[in-house]
Amino acid sequence: MAKKIYITTPLYYVNASPHIGHSYTNVAADCLARYYRQKGEDVFFLTGSDEHGQKIAQAADAAGKEPQAFVDGVVEHFESLWKLLNISHDDFIRTTQQRHVDVVQAALTRLKDEGKLTREAYNGWYCTPDETFWTPEELAKKTEDIENPVCPDCQRPLEAVQEEGWYLHLRESQEWLVNFLKKNPQWVRPESRYNEIFSLLKDDLPKYLCITRPKARVKWGIPVPFDPEYVTYVWFDALLNYLTATGYLVDQQLFEERWPAKMQIIGKDILRHHALYWPIMLHALGIPDDQMPECIFAHGWWKIGEQKMSKSLGNIVDPNVIVTVFLKEQPFAADVYRYFLMREVNFGQDGNFSEEGIETRFASDLANDLGNLVNRTLSMIDKYCDSKIPAVSEATLTDADKALQQSATSVAGQLDVLMPRLEFSKALEAIMDVVSQANRYIEEQMPWKLSKAGETERLHCVLRSLAETLRTTAILLTPFMPSVTQEIWRQLGFEGSVPELDQAAQWLKIPDNQSFTDHPVLFPRPKS
Ligand code: ME8
């Protein structure tokens, strides 16, 4: 049985259309999934939509629609964006699907039967935009105005809640979680987020997590199977999706193939839910420590100016507009956008999003560096070698050729260190350094002079070294820009798909005299 590399993204609320923040997480997860596939691994990459809860019910109401019809409409915007951005997920889970409802209800029943749930009266506060409970004790630590408190996370007004419900013990598992985190210092990444969770655990956790909402107030949720007055709290419902998609409680063989998750990528806004509630839920469900997800990675925020971009602040940027309008002159607009997101900021840190930022990055890295290298190399082989990639003998390679070879062939090994750590920007930097080196090599070797001087053997060596650099670069860039690299592959005269990553550690692998045909410009400069 082949063990899968299981990668997840959050399930986005379908109360409104997706924005660049959502696309960021999915592009990152996609680059990771494609990297592992290109390493020959079996990957299971999951994304989806979070469709229950008060916030969705309110949005449906405002749109004058029934919740199910409303989410059915919004979810299409997410699915079409993932298509546009070439997101290669293996499954798209919707929390309203029957397969998920069944698992949530079975998990609730199991917890109840094992005495892990209690029915209690609750007195606290609720943030509907975040769908998050706050106890009076938690708020007292974080806010001065205890009469009219705002949400410590998003600063929006809280709603007082006094009702009965079903509760999962949190504090009972606190010691277990602290020990688990101590034993697994890589469990939350980056390190700053691990420290954040660890310091939260220095204080007592709330005694309980309320995992239900009374039907009298919130109808749109998964019915609690043993208590008809309640529906399931939307976060308890949504987090369980990561189990549903593995076949949990339904198909043991599938479950063993897919679970545990290798990498769960989220934004830092939902760290508490994933690094406190989620492991405690799994622990309560009897998932052993060595079957916990391997890593929760919480990335930073894209900001507009100094503000976080979010639906409620009304400063959202639509990725469809960036790709189809702002980058409309680009034949590989989605790849340009993907490159910008992954290169611009170190994954984990915040970044500022702007069209000028894309323009600058595009001009320097893609048009001037990569596009130029492909175009110059293939044009020179057209001119000097009749569009056939020249043969060379290894013995004739000079130190300069070998230096280029050495740089290009060593990047695959660097990726094996950087990609599992989600250091996307550094990985791209390492690849693009080779591209810059190759452009400098052209200036130094001056193939046009070699041609004029009739130094054919040396000319062939230089042009072949450049073509080999393109071959290697195409392989290395594939997780990030799958369409561009497939086109470079075609332009080099290859048939079929870009091969596995270990091929990027090899040199002189283009068949001698391989011919190619057209090579249109990959990154045309915008008409001003
Ligand atoms: O929280 N910058 O869904 P959501 C970067 N349904 N990433 C951002 C971002 C920004 N400005 N804004 C959003 C939910 N994101 C729950 C999740 S999971 C079981 C349930 C991304 O629609 C980032 O990944 O509010 C963040 O964690 C997620 O969108 C929140 O999406």
CA of 212 to the centre of ligand 1 (A): 22
> Are residues 272 and 370 both part of a single domain?
no
**Distance from C-alpha of 446 to C-alpha of 109, rounded to nearest angstrom:** 74
How many domains does the structure of the chain reveal? 2
What's the pLDDT score for residue 370? 98
Predicted model pTM: 0.96
Residue 319 CB less than 6 A away from ligand 1: no
Q: What is the number of the ligand 1 atom nearest to the C-alpha of 303?
A: 11
Q: In terms of DSSP H, where are the helices of 19-150?
A: 20-38, 54-62, 67-84, 98-113, 136-142
Per residue of the chain (528 residues), give pLDDT as tens: 689 999 999 999 999 999 999 999 999 999 999 999 999 999 999 999 999 999 999 999 999 999 999 999 999 999 999 999 999 999 999 999 999 999 999 999 999 999 999 998 878 888 888 888 888 888 887 777 777 888 888 888 898 888 899 999 999 999 999 999 999 999 999 999 999 999 999 999 989 999 999 999 899 999 999 999 999 999 999 999 999 999 999 999 999 999 999 999 999 999 999 999 999 999 999 999 999 999 999 999 999 988 888 767 788 999 999 999 999 999 999 999 999 999 999 999 999 999 999 999 999 999 999 999 999 999 999 999 999 999 999 999 999 999 999 999 999 999 999 999 999 999 999 999 999 999 999 999 999 999 999 999 999 999 999 999 999 999 999 999 999 999 999 999 999 999 999 999 999 999 999 999 999 999 999 876
What's the pLDDT score for residue 528? 67
- Domain coverage including residue 285: 5-321
Cβ density class 399-430: b for 16+ within 10 Å, e for less: eebeebbebbbebbebbeebbbbbbbbbbbeb
The secondary structure of 358-370, three-state, reads HHHHHHHHHHHHH
Could you tell me the CATH number of the domain that includes residue 104?
3.40.50.620
For residue 517, being part of any structural domain is answered with: no
Q: Which of 15, 25, 74, 82 to mutate to test the pocket of ligand 1 (most atoms within 8 A of CB)?
A: 25
Q: Distance of alpha carbon 170 from its chain centroid, rounded?
A: 29
For residue 333, being part of any structural domain is answered with: no
> Are residues 184 and 282 both part of a single domain?
yes
**Distance from C-alpha of 80 to C-alpha of 91, rounded to nearest angstrom:** 14
> Are residues 484 and 377 both part of a single domain?
yes
For residue 510, being part of any structural domain is answered with: no
β-pairing, 263-267 with 5-13?
A: parallel
Q: Which residue puts its alpha carbon closest to atom 29 of ligand 1?
A: 22
Q: Please, is 269 exposed, middle or buried when counting C-beta atoms within 10 Å of its C-beta (0-12, 13-18, 19+)?
A: middle
Residue 270 CB less than 6 A away from ligand 1: yes
**Planar angle of CA 438, 440, 442, nearest 5 degrees:** 75
For residue 345, being part of any structural domain is answered with: no
What's the pLDDT score for residue 308? 80
Which positions ≥6 away from 494 have C-beta within 8 Å? 510, 514
Residue 28 CB less than 6 A away from ligand 1: no
CB of 102 closer than 8 Å to CB of 223: no
For residue 183, being part of any structural domain is answered with: yes
For residue 406, being part of any structural domain is answered with: yes
CA of 64 to the centre of ligand 1 (A): 25
